[in-house]
Amino acid sequence: MVIAALITLLTGAVLFLSINLWVYHRGEARIVSEEEAPEVDAVLILGAYTYENGEVSPILRDRLLQGLELYRSGKAPKILVSGDHGQNDYDEVNAMRRFLEKREVPPEDIFLDHAGFDTYNSLLRARDIFQAKKLIVVTQHFHLTRAVYIGRGLGLECYGVPSDLSNYRSLPYLQKREWPARIKAFLEVNLGQKPKFGGDPHPITGDGTSTHDQRD
């Protein structure tokens, strides 16, 4: 019994480590600098925490600033912001939209994915709802390898540009959280997990204001 338990534990540990390394290296292979990034259909900026007053957190601010630089440099004609807007009193995507509009991004160039509740849903909906084929994903490096892995696994031509513009106090915790998150991503991609919410198509080549639910 003891030997069987040890073999089971060892096998589980090897699988856990192997899947993590596979996801990490598959994603890492398509992480590039801003200068190396190719021209794509859209820059996908992944959501993060926003405060009650509608201001974005430091992690989200850096994602938005990096995504804005890619847009301004002509790497993509559109920006897709994807985050959690599942409750009336919590809204990542409109906070992201306002941040970009204050920096003179035209509203029609900003698409909002209100149902980007996690990384997998953000990438899947970028493909199916927004009909993107070629994306640059923007988030911090600890998260980016998993995001790019998911995009590639879903058949997108997907690149990542990291947005590590600051030091983050929560980084050690976030890095530890990535280990089980990579297992989840591997299972979602390989089992063909369905999106949490579907919806009508909003092609990324069109007018982003079709996805706006507020006019401020």
pLDDT tens-digit series, residues 148-204: 999 999 999 999 999 999 999 999 999 999 999 999 999 999 999 998 888 899 999
* Across 56-69, average pLDDT: 98
Class of 36-202 per CATH?
alpha beta
The residues spanned by each domain of the chain are 36-202
Is residue 142 within 8 Å of residue 168, measured between CB atoms?
A: no
Does position 38 have pLDDT exceeding 90, yes or no? Answer: yes
Query: Mean pLDDT across the chain, nearest whole number?
Result: 95
Give me the pLDDT at residue 215, please: 77
Question: 203: which 2 tokens?
Answer: 């092609």
Give me the pLDDT at residue 88, please: 77
* Across 135-160, average pLDDT: 98
Give the percent of the chain with pLDDT over 90: 85
Does position 87 have pLDDT exceeding 90, yes or no? Answer: no
Could you tell me the pLDDT band of residue 9, with boundaries at 50, 70 and 90? confident
* Across 103-122, average pLDDT: 97
Does position 109 have pLDDT exceeding 90, yes or no? Answer: yes
At 161 the three-state DSSP class reads strand
The candidate with the shortest Cα–Cα distance to 142, out of 177, 183, 189, 93, is 177
Is residue 66 within 8 Å of residue 102, measured between CB atoms?
A: no
106 backbone dihedrals φ, ψ, rounded to 5°: -60, 140
Buried (b) or exposed (e) across 115-143, using 16+ Cβ within 10 A? bbbbbbbbbbbbbebbebebbbbbbbbbb
How far the first Cα of the chain sits from its last, in Å, is 65
Q: Is the dihedral of CA 87, 120, 78, 201 positive or negative?
A: negative
Integer Cα distance of 9 and 156 in angstroms: 35
Give the percent of the chain with pLDDT over 70: 100
pTM above 0.85, yes or no: yes
Give me the pLDDT at residue 6, please: 78
Does position 85 have pLDDT exceeding 90, yes or no? Answer: no
